[in-house]
């Protein structure tokens, strides 16, 4: 059975999904003034870091990463965000 791919936009750190799942794509938009980062964690704000991206302080900079096999989270999906305008996460 195919699962529906969901998308979530975050402008501050928070829960993407409260249950286990897979992340398929992450798109990050720079705030244009500061270098920033997004860290995806398994198990909440103090969970295990599974992935990180650093974003330059360039106006209009957008970074997108696709995980062809999906990035697996065993407990929950949490995004820790610093100095970015928004992050979009596609997940199942």
Domain 6-91 has CATH 2.40.50: no
Q: Which residues of 55-92 are buried (b: 16+ CB within 10 A; e: fewer)?
A: beeeeebebeeeeeebbebebbbbbbbeebbbbebbbe
In tens, the pLDDT along 66-88 reads: 999 999 999 999 999 999 999 99
In tens, the pLDDT along 26-74 reads: 999 999 899 999 999 999 999 999 999 999 888 888 999 999 999 999 9
């Amino acid at each position: 059975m195919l699962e529906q791919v969901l998308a979530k936009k975050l402008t501050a750190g928070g829960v993407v999904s409260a249950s286990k799942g897979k992340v398929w794509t992450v798109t990050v938009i720079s705030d244009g003034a500061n270098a920033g980062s997004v860290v995806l964690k398994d198990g909440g704000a103090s969970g295990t870091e599974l992935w990180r991206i650093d974003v330059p302080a360039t106006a209009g900079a957008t970074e997108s990463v696709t995980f062809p096999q999906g990035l697996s989270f065993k407990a929950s999906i949490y995004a820790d965000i610093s100095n970015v305008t928004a992050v979009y996460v596609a997940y199942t």
